[in-house]
Amino acid sequence: MKRKFSTMSFLFIALLLAGNVLAQSNGQIVRNKFMNEYEKTQEVINRARVVQQQTQTEKGKALLDLAILVQNSAHEFGQRAMYVRALEYTLKAREQARAVLAISLQAEENENLVLRQLEKTDNLIDQIQNRITPDVPRMYLRLFDSARDNQNRAWEFYRNNELRPALKMSRQAEKSIRGLLEKFKAEQGPLHRLRNQWRQLEQKMEQAQNMIADCDSDEAGKLMEKARDRMRECERMLNDGQADQAEGNMNTVQQMFRQAYNLCAGQGSLEKKMNQLKGEVDRYLENAVQNGNAEAGELMNKARQHLREAERLCNEGNVEACAANIKAAQMNVNKAKELLES
């Protein structure tokens, strides 16, 4: 009987020890599981912290603070070897951190939407900018100014991270600009087109006068005087609504410009001017290098590019464009002179 009791006692103790070993083994597994999950949660929290610093959303901040608080509780439970509870808390903390990332991603998508809207409206404003001239109706000027003011305010809202009012204001500006474009389209007629041509012709007149100033041809000078008279007549006709007559006169002015260019080019004045400028460019470029004046040196390089283009155009017979590039080169040389002599 005594022997039987001893055997039963031994079996009981063995089972008890085995249970302790199994419990310790399970505890180690839970501990390891908690440690792995805790590290993963910490990585998510760190990413959420960085993103929240960039987006600065109120809801994101609240969720991030909560995630950190719950993660700290998980750490405390782990310190007290309460690994099941600690594991539960760190998983909850990860959910909160992921919510921060989701909110930040949504905010970023919204920001991109607003930015695309702002850029679209800016492009429309650029399209219509050249059509806003002093001779357009005052009502159009007021509409344009109002739309541009709204767009400027929209950019201010965007820079202050006020995305909703920025989007609304920019869409209002877009609607106004599109309406204005439709008005211009409806009124686009011969007179409007000819006014644009007349303004372009004025610019060519200035270029031609600069070239003729360096030309000794009396005939070219007389042609330019006649061209100026015709230009004044064109302006009067446009103001009187005489589109056909104005167009005929502008065509005549164009022919006068070409004749004057050809007269001066035939004397070699353009080639003479190019050679003169090439010498000035070389001289002032060397001066710029010696003085370490990078800005003047850059202007000289631009002048060289214009002279190379002028030479190519003159060789092709495009006298007007050749003269325009020579003028551009002269302007760069003059600017460089001012920099070096100041």
Per-residue pLDDT for the chain (342 aa), expressed as one digit of tens each? 444 445 555 555 544 544 454 445 556 888 889 999 999 999 989 988 887 876 777 888 888 999 999 999 999 999 998 999 999 999 999 999 888 888 766 666 677 778 888 989 998 998 888 777 766 667 778 888 999 999 999 999 888 878 778 888 999 999 999 988 887 776 556 667 787 888 888 877 777 776 666 666 778 778 888 888 888 888 888 776 677 788 888 888 888 877 777 777 654 667 778 888 888 888 888 887 778 888 888 888 888 898 888 888 877 767 777 777 888 888 888 888 888 887
Instruction: Give the pLDDT confidence score for residue 267 in this predicted structure.
Output: 46
Is the pTM higher than 0.85? The answer reads: no
- Residue 240's CB: how many other CB atoms inside 10 A? 10
Q: Look at the chain and count its residues.
A: 342
Instruction: Give the pLDDT confidence score for residue 296 in this predicted structure.
Output: 82
Whether the Cβ atoms of residue 25 and residue 75 lie closer than 8 Å to each other? no
The span from the CA of 342 to the CA of 335, in Å, is 11
Which amino acid, one-letter code, is at 212? Answer: I
Closest alpha carbon to 333 in 291, 253, 273: 273
Whether the Cβ atoms of residue 90 and residue 38 lie closer than 8 Å to each other? yes
3-class state of residue 111 by DSSP: helix
The span from the CA of 97 to the CA of 99, in Å, is 5
The two three-digit tokens of residue 202, written as one number: 């004025």
The span from the CA of 79 to the CA of 275, in Å, is 87
Q: Where are the alpha helices (DSSP H) in 188-318?
A: 190-213, 218-239, 243-266, 269-291, 294-315
What phi and psi, each to the nearest 5 degrees, are found at residue 318? -90, 80
The span from the CA of 225 to the CA of 204, in Å, is 14
Instruction: Give the pLDDT confidence score for residue 165 in this predicted structure.
Output: 86
Q: How distant, in Å, are the alpha carbons of 30, 54, 84, 103, 281 from that of 48? A: 27, 10, 25, 10, 59
Which amino acid, one-letter code, is at 136? Answer: V
